[in-house]
Amino acid sequence: MTESTETNLKAPSNVEIVFRYLRAIFLKIKQITFELQSGHALLVELVYQSRLKSHSNPFASKYAKRYFSQSDEDGITIEILSRMSYLDDLTPTFFLEFGVGNGTENNTLVLLSSGQCGTWVGGQKLSIDFKSSERLHFIEKWVTLKNIIQIYQDSLNTWSIDQFDLISMDLDGNDFHFISSLLDHGCRPSVFICEYNAIFPPIVSWTQPYDPDHVWTKDQYFGVSLAKLNSLFSEHGYFLCACNPQTGSNAFFIQNSYRDLFPEVPNAIEDIYVTPFYNFDNTFSHHKSVKFINNLLNSSS
């Protein structure tokens, strides 16, 4: 074998050269993408910390935390119920949530993780194995004004209770009309978590007209302003306790009988309202796991 022939055998082929070149480009893109994502995450976290520091409601600023909720509602929920002695392990807390997605991220999953019981209602199938759980009942149904009271009453009967301790409503549209109907029919949870449309400042009273076929298209046309919700709940004996600082998506209303437990909460709606910051997309956590949620549902505590 000549020296020339041996050199040709060792030289990479054109395909190998192209492959190495493409691999180098891919690795570079992967590195740049990671750096961009990391930079975005840090930027969003800085914005969030700034929102916390500038917020006028010290209660929300101190206790807002994210565990299973879409943003930082969980910490507020836990502190509210803890002050009411609902999480003292003596008796279970019962919840009802309308609009739970596929079951891996919502406002009451944190309560399930702590051993509480409740009902989820939504038009989307769950990804989790809820049928094997003794602490979760799921109603897969499109909610309208014609069926919401029956859904509510059936949910009470499931747990043999007179009232839920906490209700969460996030159906991206007709929320005001559903809440109003529930309150008119004697629904009185100690805590009511409601989605509000933060595009409206707290001087504006607005609600989307009722439309049983409404499907949110991720635009500004949805739901109800905070002022409109505040007026409704005030008429039924509730006070506004907090809005979640991270996104300005959910408002927490509490029965007036518990007002003394929250002395640091301002009275003015302007000091509780939070401006919108919806596209935060900053989880700082691992991917959601259906296996993990199933384990939570079937554990005793």
Residues 104 and 234 in one domain: yes
Give the DSSP H or E segment for 81: helix 73-83
Same domain? For 65 and 38 the reply is no
Residues 175 and 203 in one domain: yes
9 and 61, same domain (yes or no): no
Strand ranges inside 66-165, DSSP E: 94-98, 117-122, 136-140
What own/partner pairs with CB < 8 Å and gap ≥ 24 does 86-90 have?
Answer: 86/165, 86/166, 86/190, 87/114, 87/116, 89/115
Residues 134 and 187 in one domain: yes
Supply angle C-alpha 198, 203, 208, rounded to 5. 55
Same domain, 61 and 8: no
- The SS3 of residue 106 is coil
Report the phi/psi class of residue 47: left, alpha or beta, with left for phi > 0 and alpha for psi in -120 to 50.
alpha
**pLDDT the model gives residue 135:** 93
| 51 found inside a domain | no
Tally of domains within the chain: 2
Cα 130 to chain centroid distance, Å, stands at 19
Closest CA to 83 of 192, 191, 234: 191
Residue at 50 is within a domain: no
Low-confidence residues in the chain, pLDDT < 50:
none
- What digits encode the pLDDT tens for the residues 105-148? 899 999 999 999 999 999 989 888 888 889 999 999 999 999 99
Nearest to 261 by CA among 282, 231, 241: 241
Give the containing element (helix H, strand E) for 251.
Answer: strand 250-255
Q: What is the pLDDT of residue 184?
A: 98
pTM score of the predicted model: 0.84
Q: What is the pLDDT of residue 50?
A: 86
Q: How far is CA 202 from CA 116, 152, 268, in A?
A: 34, 30, 10
Q: What distance in Å separates the CA atoms of residue 117 and residue 265, rounded to the nearest whole number?
A: 28
Residue 38 sits at φ, ψ, to 5 deg, of -65, -40
In a domain, 158, yes or no: yes
Do 32 and 147 sit in the same domain of this protein?
no
| Residue 52 placed within a domain | no
- Pair (12, 136) in one structural domain: no
Residues in the chain: 301
247-to-51, 97, 141, 251, 299 alpha-carbon distances in Å:
9, 20, 28, 11, 31
Same-domain check for residues 134 and 12:
no
Are 37 and 66 members of one domain? no
| Cross-sheet strand order for the sheet of 117-122 | 136-140, 117-122, 94-98, 166-169, 191-195, 250-255, 238-243
Q: Cα separation of 110 and 195, whole Å?
A: 18
Is residue 110 domain-shared with residue 25, that is, in the same domain? no
Segments forming the whole domain that contains residue 33: 3-43
CATH number, position 178: 3.40.50.150
Residues 7 and 150 in one domain: no
Residue among 230, 252, 249 at smallest CA distance from 84: 252
- The reported pLDDT for the residue numbered 70 is 87
Which tokens in the block code for residue 62?
A: 């101190």
- Angstrom distance (rounded) from CA 12 to CA 262: 73
pLDDT of residue 287: 73
